Chain A
């Protein structure tokens, strides 16, 4: 193993996830947040950006209050500034004032009137521009990778500042209409075009998304998966995933949590940046 990779991976972190059974009945008193992601492809059929649409109910923000927030910087990674974001509610368009809190570093979108009913917002999230001079940092940014896109919501999803004690029915839908036939979509909590999970709304930021010509190793029960683009020459993801699947199953049994899920995302950097988050 290359020393650089070994050293940088020591601090690497994977995301362990579990999700409620998709057969679980929806509870009417639990508010809902819907995220729809539409990958945008260029003439070469490469995903170049994500068109993002969200809506949330049970939101009641007074005029001047923070409607959405997103970090402006994570480590040394500059975060998407939300350019082009448009919002509306049941009463119509919402005028927004944007500022960055100097203490927290959060970019905040302030509504200029009280919100009414369901709030929705949309924008196009471009991947981060990477050059040979881009320094390694937390692997949270949205990047292109061999025809696809992969990244964390903490990079591109401004969300309402709702306390994490409030549970939502979180739904993630991928609109793959017009996408190349080999397009696959994955969220931390599910493969395919439609996934759902109950949790805090911030879960949308704290999870990963991948779309495009995704290669995958998934367990038969769908609880475990490893996802990557292209064909890494440095190691065999299938071989690695096979061993990790067995380990995951054994660990689940040991901890008495056999119904949970786990997904690992792999990406190739065009800049020198082996490591993990």
Chain B
């Protein structure tokens, strides 16, 4: 989820692409069937919502 507001008057597409590509790279190594195969569930959100929640000290899920 990328968010912008009216206080940002201009953003360089190359810079945005760089940042989003960076996030894409982070996700690839943990994407695939391995998580499901070992009973961990898909791991694509390691840098997604779950990690975002955990970075704030709260879990969005049950343990």
Contacts of B21 in A (CB 8 A): 244, 247
Q: Count residues on chain B whose CB falls below 8 Å from chain A CBs.
A: 49
With A268-B3, A269-B3 known as contacts, the answer to whether A200 contacts B16 (CB < 8 A) is no
Contacts of A177 in B (CB 8 A): none
Complexed CA–CA distance, A5 and B11 (Å): 8
Contacts of B45 in A (CB 8 A): 15, 206-207
Q: Are B62 and A140 in contact (CB under 8 A)?
A: no
Q: A16-B24, A199-B41 are in contact. List 10 more A-B contacts (CB 8 A).
A: A2-B11, A71-B58, A138-B52, A140-B1, A202-B62, A205-B60, A234-B11, A251-B25, A267-B4, A277-B1
Query: Which 7 pairs from chain A and chain B are nearest by CB?
Result: A16-B27, A75-B56, A161-B62, A164-B41, A14-B23, A165-B39, A1-B15
Where the two chains meet, the residues of A that have a C-beta atom closer than 8 Å to any C-beta of B are 1-2, 4-6, 9-10, 12-18, 69, 71, 73-76, 104-106, 137-140, 150, 152, 154, 161-165, 167, 198-200, 202-203, 205-208, 232, 234-236, 239-240, 243-244, 247-248, 251, 255, 257, 260, 262, 264-277
